[in-house]
Amino acid sequence: MATFLQGDFTNETNTFEYVDSILMNQQILMQYENLDFYSVHCIDTLLYYNNYELFTSLEGITDTTYYSADQTIVNSDLVYYGEAYEVINTIQIQNFVTPYGIGLSLCSDGFTWVYDVTDYKAYLQGDVDLLSHNTQELLDLTFVFIEGTPVRNVLDFKQVYVGNFGHYNIANDISLTSTKVKRNAEAEMFSVKTRTTGHGMAGDGNCSEFCPTYHNISVEGIQRYEWYNWTECANNPVYPQGGTWIFDRAGWCPGKFADTYDWDITEFVTDPDSIEIDYGMTQYAVGSGEGNYQVSVQLIQYGNPNFANNAAIETVIAHNDHDLYNRFNPVCSNPKIVIKNNGSETLNSVGVEYGINGDYSYNYQWTGELEFLETQEVALPPINWQEFTEENIFNVRLVNPNTLEDEYQYDNQYATNFEAVDIWTDTIMLVFRTNNFGDESHYQILDQSGNVLVDRDDLDNNTTYYDTLSYPPGCYEIRIYDDGEDGLNFWYWDGEDGTGYAKLRIPGAQYVKHFNSDFGSFINYQFVIPDLSYIITEELNRKYFEIYPNPNEGSFNLKLNFEPDYTTQIHIYDMFGKEVWKISGPNISSDDINVDLSSLRKGVYFVNINSGNITRTKKLVIN
């Protein structure tokens, strides 16, 4: 048991002074090292105290004591470099929009586009990164390097502008502002190359894709060139496509190169040190929308032309089976070429020699006036269509420009493969039916001299027209136009236009040719009506049967191009007339017939076929 008692006590406070020591604040030391020569890394973090200890009292610091360091770390400079990076110089070679692929068929061979990239030669050497954005078709890009001398040497190339820019910023000189480029002291000629395509659809005008507007180039502060940035698409050689392929657009069409312009600014360059370039465009109307433009502007500085007297063939339009010219081929009328003056002297005349399959017996003398780099399409007198074979090569060359020797002959000749036109030995009829807008349709039939034999215009809606093409022997052409540039059938109108068509038929018999109704703006079709001698010769040369392979080693196939009957007999004879193989009557079918004569000696044999009024013999070679 505990007892607590309360007593009296007195509080008392006494003050005493003591001396104490305080360590300095702790320090942090981070140690770095150069590990890869373009950056530094922290490799350690150290904690340490200052070298002094402080003694303090109520009056403040009274004394200090120094302590020696355990180790010494030297702070030195580390030399390192920023991470390596590439200086990317983006050069646009071309602006190309792939075809609209819904329902599009380019067959197994695809479609080929060709574009001259001579001005970009300096950038197509060594290691080059090629960039092409595409999420639809499989593209194959091939560069063909042709050894020779260019028309003029590129001394300097500058990509002045490239990229995606808004319409408002271009029109108000916020983007693509005036830029000065250093002038090459040796340059004598100057050109600005532009490509501009509008994209985006907004506002009342669906701008920029469907907004036609003017764009311009200024040199040294003065506007020198202006163009209407608008491209017709309904004549596209890639047709029919899916989507809205027929609609005109701002500088481009699906399945075509963007419009490229080469503006000669030589006479406008006066500053000896620099060349000032500016790009502009007109402002849209209020409410038209605000789109954007893919713009490429390039300044190219050249030396003087390398030749004074040099005529060249730029291309062959017809005869040519190249994809780009399929709307104008095949033909039986005038071959068409494009000539170009690649010499500094004005081109006033040049001879043209041409023919097929290595023959140059056709001649034409061109006269005119072409300045340096100017071109002109030339229609040549027709080649006799009876000279055409199953495999044809059109060859053409230029001779004696300005009655002088051509200084550079490697660009004055051209050769193209081409197909022969249809030859109708039977009378044919054009059957043409309009859609709901007959007044948009118009067609003509012309002879080889360009005389109009049939001209139908202002046609009635949903009406069928018949024209029997019973004409003298010769070359003829059917031209079909649609003023609405949407053909006779286009999906976009959802049936509002209706459906028309154009076909060829043998009167009272079957249709023999169908023209695609989704053709855009026009169709050109040439054909031949032969004379009696051709019909007789063709009948004699007709391929009633084929031997393949031929020559062979004794095993081969016979293919009949007619329907055999009970009278059909096939005999094979040696060179002495001895029968070595035969088959007849019901044992013969229209399927390929395999024949094995490998047991016979090598040599020449003859295959003879008799069927009704058909009798044909062909040579067979066994190696």
Q: How confident is the model at residue 177 (pLDDT cuts 50, 70, 90)?
A: very high
The confidence score (pLDDT) of residue 67 equals 60
Q: Give the Cα separation of 552 and 81 in Å (integer).
A: 72
Three-state helix/strand/coil letters over 491-517: HHHCCCCCCCEEEEECCCCCEEEEECC
Are 348 and 367 within 8 A, CB to CB? yes
Phi-psi region of 547 (alpha: psi -120 to 50; beta: other; left: phi over 0): beta
Q: Where are the alpha helices (DSSP H) in 53-212?
A: 167-171
Are 185 and 277 within 8 A, CB to CB? no
The confidence score (pLDDT) of residue 566 equals 77
Q: Give the Cα separation of 448 and 313 in Å (integer).
A: 25
Distances (CA, A) of 187 to 118, 190, 284: 17, 8, 38
pLDDT at 58 over 60: no
Q: Nearest-CA neighbor of 281 among 229, 219, 216, 198?
A: 216
pLDDT at 576 over 70: no
Q: Which two tokens stand for residue 431?
A: 């059957």
The confidence score (pLDDT) of residue 141 equals 87
SS3 401: helix
Query: In whole numbers, what is the pLDDT of the chain averaged over residues?
Result: 87
Are 299 and 344 within 8 A, CB to CB? no
| Mean pLDDT confidence for 468-475 | 94
pLDDT at 122 over 80: yes
Phi, psi of 176 (to 5 degrees): 55, 45
pLDDT at 460 over 70: yes
- Helix H or strand E segment including 533: helix 532-541
The confidence score (pLDDT) of residue 310 equals 97
Q: Of 50-64, 90-104, 192-206, 401-415, which one has max mean pLDDT? A: 401-415
Virtual torsion, Cα 542, 546, 551, 557, nearest 10 deg: -170
- Helix H or strand E segment including 479: strand 474-482
Phi, psi of 327 (to 5 degrees): -75, -15
> pLDDT tens across 504-549, in order?
998 878 889 999 999 999 999 999 998 877 665 665 556 778 888 9
| Mean pLDDT confidence for 67-92 | 71
ω before 551 within 30° of 0 (cis)? yes
pLDDT at 559 over 80: yes
The confidence score (pLDDT) of residue 518 equals 95
| Mean pLDDT confidence for 479-503 | 94
pTM of the model: 0.74
The residue that leads in pLDDT, 157 or 613, is 157
The confidence score (pLDDT) of residue 37 equals 56
The confidence score (pLDDT) of residue 11 equals 67
The confidence score (pLDDT) of residue 88 equals 76
| Mean pLDDT confidence for 218-227 | 97
What domains sit in the chain, N to C, each tagged with a CATH number?
16-85 (no CATH), 97-125+136-302 (2.60.120.230), 311-420 (2.60.40.10), 423-534 (2.60.40), 543-622 (2.60.40.3080)
